[in-house]
Amino acid sequence: MEQTTGLCQIMKLTFRQIEPFVQSPDPAARVIVVYGPDQGLMTERAKTMCKTIVSDLNDPFNVATLSTDKIIEDPASFYDEANAQSMMGGDRLIIIKNGADSLSTILKEYLEEPSAGTLIVIEAGNLTPRSALRKLAESAKNAAAVPCYVDDERNLSQIIRDMCTHAGYNIDQNALQLFSSTLVGDRAIARNEIEKLLLYKGLPKGYEGFEGAPSSNRMGKISANDIYATSGDVRDWSMDKLTYAVGDGDLQTVHTIIDSLFRDQMAPIVLLRSMQNHFWRLYATNTKIKDGQDMQSAVKSLTPPLFFKVQDEFKRQLSRWPVTILESALDALNKAEMMTKKTGYDQESITKNCLIQLARYNPSRRRAG
C-alpha cells in the first residue's frame, strides 16, 4: 500500500505528527500500538482512530475486541479474526486491550502478510523504550506507535477552551489558568471535570455533547468562581497554592486566592489550619536539618509525603524560613485562630490580615528590601 503522508518510513511519530495521525491514520499502518502513562488520553486516541474505520464501535460484524491473554492462549483464533472478511462490507477493526510484550512475536509474524481490510488497534499502557511491542510498532513499515504522555497546562488550556466554546461559553483567562493547572494527569478525568462544569452552568437546548455539532447559542462567561463551585480538586489545589504563596511572600497571589476562597464560602479556620500544617512541616524538617540530618532525608521522612510537584518549592522555603522565624509564624497563626473563635470579631478579616502579614514577613522579602 502506497504511503501518502510520509509517516510510513517514520512510524516512531514525532510530537507534531501524533495528532494528525490520530485524526487520519496512515493507511499503511495495519497495526497501531497506543501507549503511555495517561490512560484517559490513550483511550481517547484509540477510540478516535477506531472510528475512522468503523463509526459504530459496537458493530458486531465489523468490530472484534480481544484480550492479550486470549490471543496468547489461542493464536489461531487471532489469525482467523484478523483475516476474516466483513459480512456487511467495508473494513474490519480489531481492538486489543491490555497489550503486552508477549504479543510481539505473534504480531511480527502477522505483519509479514497483514490483512489489507483489517486495522488492529492495541491499547498497551505505559511501555518503556525497551518494550518489544513498542519497538516492533516503531520499526515495522506497516505498524505505528502512538505515545500518550500526560498533557501539559498549555494543551489542557486549549482543550478546556475548545469544549467551553463548543457548548457556547467563553471562559475567562483566570478561570482557564486555574482549571488547567489542576487537571494535569489524565485526559479522561480532565474531560469529566470540564463536562461537570458545563452541566453546572447549563447546556444549550439540543446540545449533543462535544462529539456533536457546536452550539450556535451564546451562553455567557465562565469565571473562577464557577471553577471553585464545581471542582473539589481546584479548591484543594487553591489551598496548596495559598500556603506556598504565603511562604514565598507572593502578596498578589495571596490576595487573589484568599478573596476567591472566601467568595466560595471557605471557612477562615480552614485556611489558618492549612497554613499551620504547612509551617509545622517546614519547622519539623528544618529542626531535623539543624540536628544534622541532610535535607533530602529530612524531606523524605515527612508523613504524609510531599507531592512530587511541590518538593522543589518546599526545599526552597526550607532555606528561606529558619526555625526561629517559623516559631514566630506559628505563634501568630495560633493567636489568629484564637481571635476567630471569639464573638464579635470578623473571622475573614483576621485570617486575611494574618496571612498577608506572614507573606510580608517572609525572610526572603525582608532581605530583598
Q: How far apart are CA 47 and CA 148, in angstroms?
A: 13
Task: Tell whether the model's pLDDT for residue 369 goes beyond 60.
Answer: no
Strand order in the sheet with 92-97: 63-67, 92-97, 118-123, 31-35, 143-147
Please measure the distance between the N-terminal and C-terminal CA atoms of the chain and give it in whole angstroms: 69
Place of cell 489524565: 186
- Top CATH class, 15-147: alpha beta
CATH topology for the 153-230 domain? Helicase, Ruva Protein; domain 3 (1.10.8)
Rounded mean pLDDT of the chain? 86
Strand locations in 124-271, DSSP E? 143-147, 169-171, 220-222
pLDDT tens per residue, range 6-43: 444 546 787 788 999 999 999 999 999 999 878 888 99
Q: How far apart are CA 166 and CA 171, in angstroms?
A: 11
Q: What is the DSSP string of 103-121?
A: GHHHHHHHTTS--TTEEEE
pLDDT tens per residue, range 223-255: 877 887 776 666 666 788 899 999 999 998 899
The arrangement of secondary structure in 248-368, i.e. its CATH architecture, is: Up-down Bundle (1.20)
pLDDT tens per residue, range 85-94: 887 778 999 9
Query: Amino acid letter at 369?
Result: G
- Split at pLDDT 50, 70, 90, the class of 206 is confident
Report field, pTM of the whole predicted structure over 0.75:
no
Domain ranges of the chain: 15-147, 153-230, 248-368
Cα three-residue angle 183-185-186, rounded to 5 degrees: 90
pLDDT of residue 3: 37
CB atoms within 10 A of CB 336: 24
User: Residues for the chain: how many in total?
Assistant: 369
**DSSP H helix total and E strand total for the chain:** 18, 7
- Split at pLDDT 50, 70, 90, the class of 122 is very high
Region of poorest pLDDT, from 31-35, 99-103, 149-153: 149-153
